C-alpha cells in the first residue's frame, strides 16, 4: 500500500507529464478501479462553492477522491454539503473563507464552483498553493482575466479542467467535432449558435441579507451594493456585475463547440470582426445599466463573427438550442438531445476512423467529465476541457457582449489580443476591482 508521501509525490510528478506522453498507448482506467485504490492513493479534495451546481460537481468528484473540506459564504450551503452522504459524509470541515481550504497541505485538488466573478481569483491562488483545479464555466469574467488564468496555469504545471462538460458527457458533440475535422462537411462556411435569450425580472426589492449569507464576501471584487435575493445564487448570471447573461452562460458551452469545430480556438486564433444587435431589460448608457434593481443582461441578441478562415459564426437567442455547422458538402445540427444531418446518416456506411474520438481526447479514451480530470491527475496529460482553448472561446463571448453593449462593430486582433482602433472598447477588457479583492497574478 502506498503511504501518504508516496501519493503526494505521485500526484505532483504526474501533473507535469506532457500531453504527448499521454498520447502514447492508452492505459485502461475506470472510475471503479480508481475508487478501489487504497485510501492513501485517492486524491484529497476541497470544494469551494457548494450551491446547486457545486453540490452536483462535488458528488461527481467524490467518486474519484475523498472530500475533506467544503466552503461557502452561505452557511446553509456549506452545512448541507458537509452532511450530504455522498460529499462530506458528516465529516468534512466547513469553512466560509476559501483561503483556509488552500492553506491545507493535505488537499491535492480544489473544486471552484462559485459565481463567475470569483472564479479566477480563487483558481489562481489555488494553483499557487500547489493544487490541481477544477473550475466551472464560464472561467472568466473579462478578457483580462482570461490572460491571467492562462498564464497561471502554464506556470503552475498543474492539471486544470474547466466545467464545459459537453466535451465529455454528451458523445454527440465529440462526434460532431470529429465529422467537421474529418472533412465530412467539406469546407466549413457557416456555424450558427443558438443559446436562448435571457429572462427579465421587473423591479426587485432591496432588503437586508439573511444571517446565513456573508453578502459582502459574496460580492467580492464587484461594487458593494444592497442585497437583493435575485442578485445571488443561481440568478447572479442575469447581472453584468457578476456574469455575462446567456452569452457567457450557454455561450461557454456552444460557442466552445462551434470554435472547436471550425478549428479556431487555438493560440492566436479568434474572430476578426464582431458586430450585433440586442435588447436589454433596462436602458444602457455607454454600455452600463442605468437601473440597479432588476436583471440587466441581454434578453435577445444576434451577433455575427467573421473568422480569418472564411467562416461566419452567428450567435443568437433561439429556442432551438444547439449548434448548426454548414459546409459546401453538407451540414449537421448538434445539441444535448440530438445529432442530425446527412453526414451523420452516412456514418453507417462510412464510420469515423477508430481513433477519431481518442484524438479529440488528446490520446485518452473518452470518459465522463470528472473521470477525464482525475485520469489526467493520475496519469499526466491535459484534460479535454483545457484552459487555453476555453479562454479563446469565452473571449469571443466577452467580445460579443462588448459589441452589443456599446452598439458598434469591433475589429479584433487575435494574436495581439486587442480591439483595434477603438480605445474606449478596448478598455472593456478589464474592470476595476474592489479594494481587498484584487487578483495577485
Give backbone dihedrals phi and psi of 106, rounded to 5 degrees, phi first: -80, -15
Residue 435 belongs to some domain of the structure: no
Q: Are residues 278 and 400 in the same domain?
A: yes
Q: Are residues 48 and 120 in the same domain?
A: yes
Q: Are residues 53 and 14 in the same domain?
A: yes
44-48: strand order across its sheet: 93-95, 66-71, 44-48, 109-112, 132-135, 160-162
The mean pLDDT of 67-72, rounded to a whole number, is: 98
H-run or E-run covering 423: helix 423-426
- pLDDT interval class at 193 (50, 70, 90): very high
Q: Which residue in 106, 105, 111 sits closest to 133, CA to CA?
A: 111
Is the pLDDT at 38 greater than 70? The verdict is no
> Look-up: residue for cell 476595476?
432
Is the pLDDT at 8 greater than 50? The verdict is no
Whole-angstrom distance, CA of residue 293 vs CA of residue 287: 17
Peptide bond into 180 cis (omega under 30): no
Q: Report the DSSP beta bridge partners of residue 339.
A: 334
Whole-angstrom distance, CA of residue 198 vs CA of residue 318: 10
CB of 331 closer than 8 Å to CB of 325: yes
Is the pLDDT at 29 greater than 70? The verdict is no
Cell output for 285: 448608457
Report how many domains make up the chain.
2
Q: Are residues 154 and 54 in the same domain?
A: yes
Q: Are residues 155 and 190 in the same domain?
A: no
Is the pLDDT at 217 greater than 60? The verdict is yes
Q: Are residues 292 and 422 in the same domain?
A: yes
Q: Are residues 148 and 262 in the same domain?
A: no
Whole-angstrom distance, CA of residue 62 vs CA of residue 43: 10
Residue 308 belongs to some domain of the structure: yes
* Helix axes 143-156 and 387-406, enclosed angle (nearest 10): 170
Residue 108 belongs to some domain of the structure: yes
Q: What is the pLDDT of residue 7?
A: 45
The mean pLDDT of 179-196, rounded to a whole number, is: 97
Q: Are residues 230 and 276 in the same domain?
A: yes
SS3 content of the chain, % helix, strand, coil (to 5): 40, 20, 45
H-run or E-run covering 154: helix 143-156
Q: Are residues 121 and 199 in the same domain?
A: no
Q: Is 255 helix (H, G, I), strand (E, B) or coil?
A: helix
Whole-angstrom distance, CA of residue 57 vs CA of residue 74: 17
Whole-angstrom distance, CA of residue 292 vs CA of residue 201: 12
Neighbouring C-alpha atoms within 13 Å toward the C-beta of 307: 25
Torsion of CA 116, 52, 376, 260, to 10 degrees: -60
Q: Are residues 29 and 150 in the same domain?
A: yes
Average pLDDT, the chain: 91
Q: Lowest mean pLDDT: which of 26-40, 203-217, 247-261, 293-307?
A: 26-40
The mean pLDDT of 167-187, rounded to a whole number, is: 94
Write the pLDDT tens digit of every residue in 125-174: 999 999 999 999 999 999 999 999 999 999 999 999 999 999 987 789 99
Q: What is the pLDDT of residue 310?
A: 96
- pLDDT interval class at 39 (50, 70, 90): low
Residue 381 belongs to some domain of the structure: yes
Q: Are residues 249 and 262 in the same domain?
A: yes
Residue 438 belongs to some domain of the structure: no
Q: Which residue in 8, 87, 85, 88 sits closest to 40, CA to CA?
A: 8
Q: Are residues 131 and 63 in the same domain?
A: yes
Q: Which residue in 62, 69, 61, 59 sits closest to 92, CA to CA?
A: 69
Higher local confidence (pLDDT), 5 or 251: 251
Q: What is the pLDDT of residue 365?
A: 86
332-346: b or e for each residue (b if 16 or more CB lie within 10 Å)?
A: bbbbeeebebebbee
Q: Domain of 243: which CATH number?
A: 3.30.360.10
Residue 189 belongs to some domain of the structure: yes
Write the pLDDT tens digit of every residue in 301-348: 999 999 999 999 999 999 889 999 999 999 999 999 999 999 999 999
- pLDDT interval class at 238 (50, 70, 90): very high
Q: Is 236 helix (H, G, I), strand (E, B) or coil?
A: helix
Residue 267 belongs to some domain of the structure: yes
Is the pLDDT at 18 greater than 50? The verdict is no
Q: Lowest mean pLDDT: which of 2-11, 171-180, 326-335, 344-353?
A: 2-11
Write the pLDDT tens digit of every residue in 270-284: 999 999 999 999 999
Q: What is the pLDDT of residue 19?
A: 29
Domain assignment of residue 90, given as a range: 4-168+370-385
Is the pLDDT at 23 greater than 50? The verdict is no
Residue 424 belongs to some domain of the structure: yes
Q: Domain of 161: which CATH number?
A: 3.40.50.720
CB of 384 closer than 8 Å to CB of 167: yes
Amino acid at each position: 500500500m502506498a503511504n501518504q508521501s508516496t501519493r503526494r509525490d505521485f500526484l505532483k510528478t504526474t501533473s507535469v507529464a506532457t500531453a504527448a506522453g499521454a498520447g502514447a498507448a492508452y492505459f485502461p482506467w475506470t472510475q471503479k478501479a480508481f475508487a478501489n485504490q487504497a485510501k492513501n492513493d485517492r486524491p484529497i479534495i476541497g470544494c469551494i462553492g457548494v450551491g446547486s451546481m457545486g453540490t452536483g460537481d462535488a458528488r461527481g468528484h467524490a467518486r474519484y477522491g475523498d472530500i475533506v473540506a467544503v466552503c461557502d459564504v452561505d452557511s446553509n450551503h456549506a452545512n448541507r454539503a458537509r452532511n450530504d452522504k455522498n460529499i462530506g459524509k458528516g465529516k468534512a470541515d466547513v469553512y466560509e473563507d476559501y483561503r483556509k481550504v488552500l492553506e491545507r497541505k493535505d488537499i491535492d485538488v480544489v473544486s471552484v464552483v462559485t459565481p463567475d466573478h470569483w472564479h479566477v481569483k480563487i483558481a489562481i491562488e489555488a494553483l499557487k498553493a500547489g493544487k490541481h483545479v477544477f473550475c466551472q464555466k464560464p472561467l472568466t469574467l473579462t478578457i483580462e482575466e482570461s490572460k491571467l488564468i492562462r498564464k497561471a496555469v502554464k506556470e503552475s504545471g498543474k492539471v486544470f479542467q474547466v466545467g464545459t462538460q459537453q466535451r465529455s458527457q454528451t458523445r454527440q458533440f465529440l462526434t460532431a467535432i470529429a465529422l467537421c475535422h474529418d472533412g465530412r462537411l467539406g469546407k466549413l462556411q457557416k456555424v450558427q449558435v443558438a443559446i436562448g435569450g435571457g429572462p427579465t425580472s421587473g423591479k426587485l426589492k432591496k432588503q437586508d441579507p439573511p444571517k446565513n449569507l456573508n453578502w459582502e464576501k459574496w460580492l467580492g471584487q464587484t461594487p458593494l451594493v444592497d442585497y437583493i435575493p435575485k442578485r445571488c445564487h443561481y440568478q447572479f448570471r442575469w447581472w453584468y456585475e457578476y456574469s455575462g447573461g446567456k452569452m457567457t452562460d450557454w455561450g461557454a458551452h456552444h460557442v466552445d463547440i462551434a470554435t472547436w469545430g471550425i478549428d479556431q480556438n487555438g493560440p492566436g486564433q479568434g474572430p476578426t470582426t464582431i458586430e450585433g444587435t440586442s435588447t436589454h431589460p433596462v436602458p444602457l448608457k455607454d454600455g452600463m445599466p442605468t437601473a440597479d434593481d432588476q436583471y440587466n443582461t441581454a434578453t435577445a441578441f444576434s451577433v455575427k463573427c467573421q473568422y480569418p478562415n472564411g467562416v461566419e459564426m452567428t450567435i443568437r437567442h433561439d429556442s432551438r438550442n444547439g449548434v448548426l455547422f454548414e459546409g459546401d458538402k453538407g451540414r449537421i445540427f448538434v445539441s444535448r438531445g440530438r445529432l442530425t444531418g446527412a453526414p451523420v446518416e452516412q456514418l453507417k456506411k462510412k464510420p469515423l476512423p477508430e481513433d477519431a474520438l481518442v484524438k479529440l481526447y488528446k490520446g485518452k479514451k473518452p470518459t465522463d467529465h470528472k473521470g477525464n480530470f482525475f485520469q489526467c491527475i493520475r496519469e499526466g496529460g491535459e484534460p479535454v476541457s483545457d484552459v487555453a482553448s476555453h479562454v479563446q472561446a469565452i473571449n469571443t463571448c466577452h467580445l460579443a457582449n462588448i459589441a452589443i453593449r456599446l452598439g458598434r462593430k469591433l475589429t479584433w486582433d487575435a494574436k495581439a489580443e486587442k480591439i483595434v482602433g477603438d480605445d474606449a472598447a478596448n478598455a472593456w477588457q478589464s474592470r476595476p476591482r474592489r479594494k481587498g479583492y484584487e487578483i495577485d497574478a
